Structure 1
């Protein structure tokens, strides 16, 4: 796992701290920003990408892993920001997802490990609906001058993103697998489109399924949260009438280390549990499972029937937890 000040910390299977790799700083093998992506890839190396900074690799099979750390030079590092999974393609190129600041485009880029040059890019955001199409709302506090400036800079999407969707409203989900696949969903329906690394359609996962109804307690808590947002956020545009009767059928989306797609869904018993349907590479349903609330696998890893996630308690304290998943059902 990565730490904002200590670099990459490595823990043993029993949870005990073993050693750390790198640290925050401006010198050799140091990060100016916290590591954004960490992975052990099929070539056997531990790969670390520091935000807009460096590409590092180490050999995790030797005793002194930190001593094996080496830098791979990057071309045009100021223009891309890695924030997703890493992979090696068939040509030996490093594949990373990133965000181009100048154009505000998300993409996957292939980087030559010989000279650090970016050799190709694809832009999966081009497949997504616009905020307007999803029903996101602009704040009525925005002046005509601010809107005109945003139009001039092609930054309307940024203004919509200031507040994002209303609670339980339409959202967009995207996940990247380590073999280059992209999963894309809009949360109004249970539908996930799968594309290969060149953004060619592979398969579609669909179910005729609605999300559970909001309870009275959830509606009260949501109303209170929105009232606080209106007090604290200058451009928050939503009011109680924007609260829907039902939650979306989809809550989250990610690929695990085995290449399986996890589609997290809202549950009727959500205060106690969270759950997902798990699909294979061909889009076949493998099993469904649940796990304790408060555990997020967006920054963790799942392999086989075991996952490492981040659990946040009521005081906001985080810890790494290991979860053993039990399948509730199998088959289609």
Structure 2
């Protein structure tokens, strides 16, 4: 007998009848399987593929494969669906709602740039009830489309982009790929506090990074390894202190934990980093009020669709990091 919990299924009011969906120009170009997964919240991906195989989902009255790419003007037929009964999502608190409203640094009809507070995951799951993207969707219930353009670690504060149109998401994610390939694209700027004295001539780290899983896949660890993916970060010194160096980091590629691991690789791990840092130094910093790694996405520079010039958005240091810098200001070194 199976020990797996029984999953209850209901007819969701949203999907209780046959639906016909018109594909607009902003939705064109995406695969039908991804289109369906994004719209059928609560329907397992495996069930989406089953519907496609059986021909229950049709486009322009015909059967299609999962890799079919939608065109503007296509008509998608959805059958009545059963979805898993789920607990209602955690509601956005008034306090967090006010924080996020004040944290919006830039907005137009296609994109939001938010100064993400530290401690807030970018999306829910894995024990996180409410992430940034879910909170923004509740904050802006009238928005038809809100999707993350990129990600930040939970404890990293600062600039993060959220697309309000799929056309902007495609454009910005292509810009990120262009940046990794050395063809311009989005410029990401971070401020970080490194332990020790950052080498004077160290302006670029080019070291491949390999991502590993631990604890049954529940934890990710990244290390420099010849079999890893090409990874490049540019660094500059902003201020030297007796025991620390405030640095600027500009990742050229976009690997997981890239800045943190490259700093560790050069024997200057980030202050407060509990995964790649120095435990003894971190304990001392905790007494000064640092409860996370000192890494802040301080600026983004990007060109939006239809624009000829770049837009730059800056995010001031969060209060906890600014307070720490004030405490160590007396340790500033000349030059």
Classify the TM-score, shorter chain: under 0.3
Identify, as 1 or 2, the structure richer in strand.
1
TM-score normalised by the chain length of structure 2: 0.21
Identify, as 1 or 2, the structure richer in helix.
2
TM-score normalised by the chain length of structure 1: 0.21
**Greater RCO structure (CA 8 Å; 6+ sep):** 2
Larger-gyration structure (1/2):
2
